[in-house]
Structure 1
Amino acid sequence: MPVRHLDFYTTQKSLVSVQPLSVLKDIRLGIDGNVWLKKVVTTAASEQYLAGIGGTPSCMRKAIEKELEGFKAASIHPLFVFSGLALIRKDKPYVNDDPKIAKRNAAWDAVNAGKIDLALSSWSTSYVVHQPDLIHLVFRILKERNIDYIRAPYGAGAQLVYLERNPKQIIHAVYAGSELLVFDVDRVITSIDFAKQTFSVISKKAVLQDLMLSDDQFLDLCILAGFDLCPTFPPLSAEGAFAFKSIHELLLQHRTGFNAVKAYADSPQVVKSNYVDLFCRTRCAMRHQPILTDEGHIEPMNVAQAPSDIHEFIGYRLPDEVYYYMSRGIINEATMNTLLCGHGAEFSPLCNGETKEYRSFLTTEIMQMKAQTLSLMKARLHPFYDRKISVVYWYESSSAPEHVIKMDTASVKVDSICNWKSGRQSIDKELKKSGMTVPNYSFALGLLSNASDASSTILAKGAAAADNSAPLSTSVEVQTRHLSKLLQLRSFVDTATHAPTAYGKAVVDAFKSQPGASSDFQDALIVALELIKSGLLSSKPYSHNYTKKPVLEDDSAVRAVRLISRTSSLIGARFKGIKSWAGPLSRDLLAFNSINKILTRHLRHLGEALMLEMLLANECQKDALDYTELATHMPFAHEPSTVLGILVKEYLEAMALSSKLSKDQAVQQVEEHIGATSLSSLAHSVRDELQRGFAFWNLVCEAVKSLGAANAVSKEQAQEFVDANNWAKSRKL
């Protein structure tokens, strides 16, 4: 967050200068990616229904592309810098989502009462788009447009200051929040208005002169006022009474922030928050925050004056190589933060996570996936990192016992994936033959379907990798090996033989039986099979069913619609990105979407940790790889909403309610029900979206058929899909 009330102060004192955008022509502009993305999200998040349908804002891509076009038209060359690791925390995290949960429940009560405006009001104060959920989409768009970006080792601000101060003039100016003024900068661009062709800038010299403070005193002022690294000084933090002027007067009285804090050292509020220590740690962190140098090294700012115990306020140091991979988007900061601080937190999902199924999934399958992810990350690091890591949940009190991640709980141990070498097939040649440009799961599994081909990828026991296999030299080889290992970790590939298991064979069989199936279905089919394996993709209602009275009376119809709509919601509806959804909602589908989201996110984290392990294990010829290319093509980057599931549900219920209704009439009825606004938000017709939903349903049915033939699922599970498919056979488009 920005420094509390600093923006108000600079505006009130007329310290913000507005200049024509032409002044920035042909400059290299360093941009705080998080500040910029917040502006974009604010524009895109006018999608008021987002909290009710899940997924990412449908207008997000268009909003980003519009911004990038603005920079291009103004001849500004942007370099986006996103924040990395968080500074170390000494306290155990505590998740208090009670206010959000209450507001979400109030929103759904309003929906059920037909009071949509009231629901939107409750959602707007209970939901903020989480930036880490968007970062993969952002990186992909920036990569597509050949725009430079990096992730800083820690804060983006420190990295931007280094880039601007660098003698090589890597950037010429900085676009960030006003909080960047705490660093050694001359001025900060705080906003750009492409419509008005102007930008706003603050001069630090003007601010210091107005406040009559030195640079060191201004840093103290900002820390005492409060920002994301440190809360407001407790004796002056009352929401209604707080004023920037109060902090300023306190500092003028005591001359330094430390003196001011020590003067209140016996205050119960200061003692309880351990504010004296927190102030000192924050001050040191701001002066010596680590940055990535142009030579690829990690070092503190003002390194000559940096104390020897920098790890006490920054955190434990990782190898420079890890920071570099993080800067290119290979590994996300959230997982690294969990490893470094020893704690992870699970927040309530949009449905509030009230079902037993969701909570059980978190503490079983997701916990095992966390164990795999962290084991991969620790595998090539110093033994120091082989330490206890625990998880806290939003539905438990702060005094609840710790949930320790036990690294040996996963069904497939990470050390079992070390026996891979290049097989007899030329991966590049096979990929070209298939007509694909990037390998996917069915391609990777296809290479292993022949027993002799699979056995040729097994590294001889006791042999060093260098003895049997040269490092992977192309992105295609790396991506294929990465997918194969990921499938092995998730039990789609046999650990001993490298042949596809029943679940891996189900993927191959499904795509063979549906040759026209979209390549977009690859991730979704893996997710579907993971959920079938966990018993969560079924026709049964969850423990907390939000539909009090089903639209249909026939139980077999209710179960069929439930299963097919859940399955369809695993792929996202396609939007134009101009208007947002404002049609029907389903909290039951949102509950399923929450399970899909948490699984997709952790599969993504697992894939990133696996790529990091492969790089640190020197399986790849590192100087031949484009790391941003590898990062943007890693799987499970997309989190769909419930919209396609809602469309399928609406259509099937319309067909079931009237035997005289034709398919065309049912489609028309769906169109009328969702309304003109939602209809115009879709990039394709409702009919096209429904056909796409049923195409994915058919693919999943073929996969389940293969699993049933191999006795890999229970007869009851297999029969659920058969029954639902038979019920829908005459109704499908």
Structure 2
Amino acid sequence: MRVRHLQSHLHDEKLIYQGKLEALQGQRLGIDAVHWLRSIQALKDPFADALGGVPPGIFGVVDKELEGFRRLQITPVFIFQGMTPGPKHSMFVNRMDQQMMDAWALLASGHNSEAQKFFAVSTSRINGDFVYFIFQHMRYRGCEVLQAPYFAGTQLVHFAEGGVVQAVFGPPGLLLFGLSKAIINIDFQNVVFDWIDLERILDKWNMTREQFVDACMLAGTEYCLTFPYLQVDQVMRFNFDVAVNVAKQAPLLQWMHTFPTEDMKADHVEGYCVCKLLIQSSPVYHVKANAVRPFSSSGPVPSDYPAVLGALLPSSLYFLIVSGMLSAKLPQALAKGEWLDKSQPLVDTQEYRQLLSDLTEYRQRALGLIARHLPSYFRSKRILCKAFWEHLQNRRSCDAGRARRYLQPDKMQDVGVDVW
């Protein structure tokens, strides 16, 4: 889970430590695969998206990193993201969209050097196709790879608690799930790694773990907006330290009564509730039980659990997801009742938007092939389609005056093909 300015604040506070990679020799290292890919500098070709492709030599770059693990006798266990609810807002997306527009404008005016800088910070080469290729490539190379049923972060924390892995590599947001230490960067060239320690953070900031979680949520994640009274003007930079001080003054629940308008309260409170639920109860594959169930077994599961994560799927379907035999896209649509086209093209056109609508029959056929093996509830489920220009809009206005698009798996039950 991404937390606004958490890593930069930890750096400013000198709470990021460095260790020798020799310390990890002989250990099993759980790795958030997407975070790891984003950390590889050689994959960060700033013009890759502008050229309409992925960085050249991607498999060679990945193989070189894998060789680094083998050379130091570190066993990497790569965990890929599974079914995750879409973001409830566009806080992280809008900023990248504006940077992308600025990059194209600079390139068109001949300012290639400046354009390259904007492309470098606004683009992400880690799209769905890229991740799929890397997953299959690493499996071919004999690596231990697993697609988490839901969030990669909570799956890694569960593996660490169960002794499946001895260390975890991922984003600082892993600390939200109770992980005591996390490796956030690996540098094979200098044979060092950067790591953070939750206890040291809490000690320096003089706060409890619950207050730390509240501070991160107040700062903002992809599931909850930044607390409005922490927003500053365009000249001043957002300061994470303010979120820390606010969280120490009173619990998050108490701050929820301070919004100036009901609309603002509605926009924020739901996000905070969803974020808290995901932190406390995200489902993971439990090793000992050989089943998918909430990360924390203490206390009852919240009543709005299905509204956030969707319906519980059969164990056989989870097995196909975890093994990587089935993309999480189709099961998530069946569980949640939503099909989200989150990927935005480099050039948005009416023809591209029409293409998404033209894919309805193909998608219904794919969903029907899976739903025919599930309980009737899934076969008769209507699945709402939302494209990238729809699902991040304000929910009170996104459907105003617009006909909704639905997929119906039951229409494609009798396709005459059985792939299982």
- Structure-2-length-normalised TM-score: 0.85
Determine the C-alpha separation between the residues in 1 that align with 2:101 and 2:300. 46
The runs of at least 4 aligned residues of structure 1 exceeding 6 Å deviation read 88-92, 95-98
Please give the secondary structure, in 1, of the residue aligned with 2:341.
strand
**1:320 alignment counterpart:** 315
1:281 maps to a residue whose letter is: V
- Paired letter, 2:281: H
SS in structure 1 at match of 2:124: coil
1:400–1:326 Cα change, 3 Å? farther
| C-alpha distance in 1 between matches for 2:409 and 2:279 | 39
Question: Alpha-carbon deviations, 1:448-507, whole Å to 9, x = none?
Answer: xxxxxxxxxxxxxxxxxxxxxxxxxxxxxxxxxxxxxxxxxxxxxxxxxxxxxxxxxxxx
- 1:153 corresponds to which residue? 149
Where does structure 2 lack aligned partners over 5 or more consecutive residues?
Answer: none
Instruction: Give 2:225's aligned residue.
Output: 231
Alpha-carbon spacing, 1:388–1:70, altered in 2? closer, same or farther (3 Å): same
| Equivalent-residue separation in structure 2 for 1:416 and 1:209 (angstroms) | 61
Question: 1:58 is matched by which residue type in structure 2?
Answer: P
What displacement does 1:102 show?
4.4
Structure 2 match to 1:404? 405
1:84 Cα offset (Å): 1.1
Q: Is the 8 A contact 2:146 2:324 kept in 1?
A: yes
For 1:290, which of 255, 261, 283 is the aligned residue? 283
Distance in 1 (CA, whole Å) between partners of 2:277 and 2:75 is: 33
Q: CA offset at residue 147 of structure 1? A: 0.7
Match of 1:185 in 2: 179
1:146 CA displacement: 0.7
Q: 2:85 aligns with which of 75, 87, 91?
A: 87
Q: Secondary structure at the match of 1:209?
A: helix
Task: Please point out which of 221, 238, 246 is paired with 2:242.
Answer: 246
- Deviation per CA, 1:362-394: give whole Å up to 9, x if none: 322x22212212222322223333322233345
**Residue 726 (structure 1) aligns with:** none
Question: Identity over aligned residues, as a percent?
Answer: 24
In the other structure, the counterpart of 1:276 is 269
Helix, strand or coil at the partner of 2:149: coil
Q: CA deviation at 1:405?
A: 3.5
Q: 1:343 to 1:359 in 2, by over 3 A?
A: closer
Say if 1:195 and 1:121 are closer, same or farther in 2 by CA, change over 3 A: closer
Residue 242 of structure 1 aligns to a residue whose secondary structure is coil
Task: Please list the CA deviations of residues 83-129 of structure 1 after superposition, one character each: whole Å capped at 9, or x if unmatched.
Answer: 2111377899xx9897478457636744xxx6644654564465322
Q: Which residue pairs with 2:39 in the alignment?
A: 39
Structure with more helix by fraction: 1
User: Is the CA contact 1:235–1:269 (under 8 Å) kept in the aligned structure 2?
Assistant: no
Give the letter aligned to residue 245 of structure 1.
Answer: D
Q: Distance in 2 between matches of 1:122 and 1:195?
A: 27
Q: Which position in structure 1 is the counterpart of 2:363? A: 370
Alpha carbons of structure 1 residues 203 and 101: separation in structure 2 relative to 1, 3 Å:
closer
1:53 equivalent in alignment to 2:48: no
Q: Give 1:297 deviation, angstroms.
A: 0.2
Deviation digits for residues 293-344 of structure 1, max 9, x if unmatched?
1142011122131325232443321112212211111222233333324242
The separation in 2 between residues aligned to 1:51 and 1:11, in whole angstroms, is 29
Contact 2:46–2:120 (Cα < 8 Å) also in 1: no
Render the CA deviation track for 1:253-294: whole Å, top value 9, x for unaligned: 11x2212223x1444563251x22322332122111111011
Which secondary structure state, in structure 2, belongs to the residue aligned with residue 303 of structure 1? coil
Is the CA contact (8 Å cut-off) linking 1:296 and 1:320 kept in structure 2?
Answer: no
Query: Is structure 2 residue 382 aligned with structure 1 residue 388?
Result: yes
Aligned equivalents of 1:178, 1:86: Cα separation in 2: 18
Match of 2:130 among 118, 122, 134: 134
The 1:182/1:115 distance shift into structure 2, 3 A limit, reads closer
Tell me the amino acid that sits aligned with residue 148 of structure 1: E
The aligned counterpart of 1:75 is 73
* Residue of structure 2 in register with 1:219 after alignment: 213
**Structure 2 SS opposite 1:51:** coil
Partners of 2:225 and 2:271 within 8 A in 1? no
Q: Is the 8 A contact 1:368 1:409 kept in 2?
A: no
Q: Pick the structure with greater CA Rg.
A: 1
- Residues 235, 66 of structure 1: alpha-carbon distance in 2 compared, 3 angstrom cutoff: same
SS in 2 for 1:146: coil
Question: How far apart are 1:408 and its partner, in Å?
Answer: 8.3
Query: Kindly tell me: are residues 74 and 306 of structure 1, through their superposed partners in 2, closer, same or farther at Cα, counting changes over 3 Å?
Result: farther
Contact 2:76 2:144 in 1 (8 A): yes
Residues 542-578 of structure 1, C-alpha deviations (whole Å, 9 max, x = no match): xxxxxxxxxxxxxxxxxxxxxxxxxxxxxxxxxxxxx
Verify the 8 A CA contact 1:28 1:77 in the aligned structure 2: yes
Q: 2-side partners of 1:148 and 1:129: how far apart?
A: 23
**Distance change (3 Å), C-alpha of 1:53 and 1:252:** closer
Match of 2:331 in 1: 336
Contact 1:391 1:403 in 2 (8 A): yes
Closer/same/farther in 2, CA of residues 13 and 284 from structure 1, 3 Å limit: same
Q: Which has the higher strand share?
A: 2
SS in 1 for 2:77: strand
Distance in structure 1 (CA, Å) of the matches to 2:343 and 2:12: 38
Look up the equivalent residue of 1:68 and give its one-letter code: L
Unaligned runs of 5+ in 1: 421-613, 616-733
Higher RCO (C-alpha under 8 Å, 6+ residues apart)? 2
Residue equivalent to 1:173:
167
For 2:290, what is the secondary structure of its paired residue?
Answer: coil
Q: Secondary structure of 1:402's partner?
A: coil
Aligned to 1:725: none
Whether contact under 8 Å (2:31, 2:169) holds in the other structure is yes
Kept in 2, the 8 Å contact 1:107–1:123? The answer is: no
Note if 1:162 corresponds to 2:158.
yes
Give the match's secondary structure for 2:145.
strand
Cα distance in 2 for residues equivalent to 1:314 and 1:76? 34
Give 1:29 shift. 0.7
Shift in Å at residue 148 of structure 1? 0.3
Q: Is the 8 A contact 1:25 1:74 kept in 2?
A: yes
Judged with a 3 Å threshold, the aligned counterparts in structure 2 of structure 1 residues 91 and 135 are, in CA distance, closer, same or farther, namely closer
2:16 maps to 16
* Counterpart-to-counterpart distance in 2, 1:252 and 1:126: 34
Matched to 1:87, the amino acid is: P
- Alignment of 1:66 with 2:47, yes or no, is no
Whole-Å separation in 1 of the counterparts to 2:389 and 2:200: 48
Give, as a single letter, the amino acid of the residue that structure 2 aligns with 1:221. A
Q: 1:79 to 1:246 in 2, by over 3 A?
A: same
Q: Which residue of 1 aligns with 2:415?
A: 416
1:42-92: per-residue Cα shift (whole Å, max 9, x none)? 5313252x2343232223212211111111111100101112111377899
Decide whether the 8 Å contact of 1:151 with 1:327 is kept in 2: yes
Q: Is the 8 A contact 2:218 2:243 kept in 1?
A: yes
Q: Distance in 2 between matches of 1:76 and 1:265?
A: 49
Equivalent pairs, count: 404
**What is the SS of the residue equivalent to 2:184?**
strand
Q: Which residue does the alignment assign to 1:686?
A: none
Rounded to whole Å, the distance in 1 between the matches of 2:343 and 2:133 is 22
Q: Residue 249 of structure 1: CA displacement? A: 1.5
Normalised TM-score (structure 1): 0.51
